Chains A and B, each alone.
Chain A
């Protein structure tokens, strides 16, 4: 089965700086890679995703890159703000139609220092 590794487990950055979270996956059949943000007391919220037919996707201050050959993908947050503080999860799965569960990383606790 799929295995997703996520690093670091905790990341502290100064407000305004950039944050990068990295994930690797094991199953070359995976073709869908979403990122979720989870705030205290809430469920995970989908913030961005990427499919294996593209190498990069950007949405305002967040971007995701994918290297299929190396089986790793990363989340980049620029100009970090206090409201970016949360736990971020990467996941891997399939997007070819059908209902498929996602395999998640262990999460990164992002702390934005004022």
Chain B
């Protein structure tokens, strides 16, 4: 266990549904990240939060809406997704001061039908 948990682990949703992914870190970190992992593509950075403030949006479509209520929790709200959004969504956390060691959760396997 890395100290980063994600729920749910698997999610199937229709294109008109609204769902949310949750991430929680128990490491005392203050930066959190969302990455997308698609088959045969590198992990893609989506969003970065530094002390609850969003510091990076890597040109992600507005159908993905992140929320970071505190340094330990991160959400990804999903609505009107497309089948090509099916992927493994990974959350990571790190400590802002010093190194950039990022610790990942197990991911949420999302399938959009």
Interface residues of A (CB under 8 A from B): 4, 32, 34, 36, 41-46, 49, 51, 89, 91, 93-95, 97-107
Contact = CB atoms under 8 A, between A and B. Distances in A.
A45 B94 CA distance: 13
Interface residues of B, number: 32
Contacts of B30: 99
Contacts of A49: 99, 101
Contact of A101 (B58, B97, B101, B104): B58
List the 7 shortest-distance A-B pairs measured between CB atoms, nearest first.
Answer: A99-B31, A101-B45, A43-B104, A99-B50, A104-B43, A104-B42, A95-B100
Contacts of A105: 42
Nearest to A32: B100
Given A43-B2, A99-B49, A99-B55, A89 B43 contact: yes
Interface of B: 2, 4, 6, 30-31, 33, 35, 40-43, 45, 48-50, 55-56, 58, 90, 94, 96-107
A88 B107 CA distance: 17
Contacts of A101: 33, 35, 45, 48, 56, 58
- A94, A101, A106: most-surrounded residue (chain B CB, <10 A): A101
Contacts of B107: 42-43
10 contacts: A4-B42, A43-B2, A46-B104, A89-B43, A94-B100, A95-B98, A99-B33, A99-B49, A99-B96, A100-B100
A102 B106 contact: no
A89 B92 CA distance: 15
A100 B42 contact: no
B24 to A, nearest CB: 14
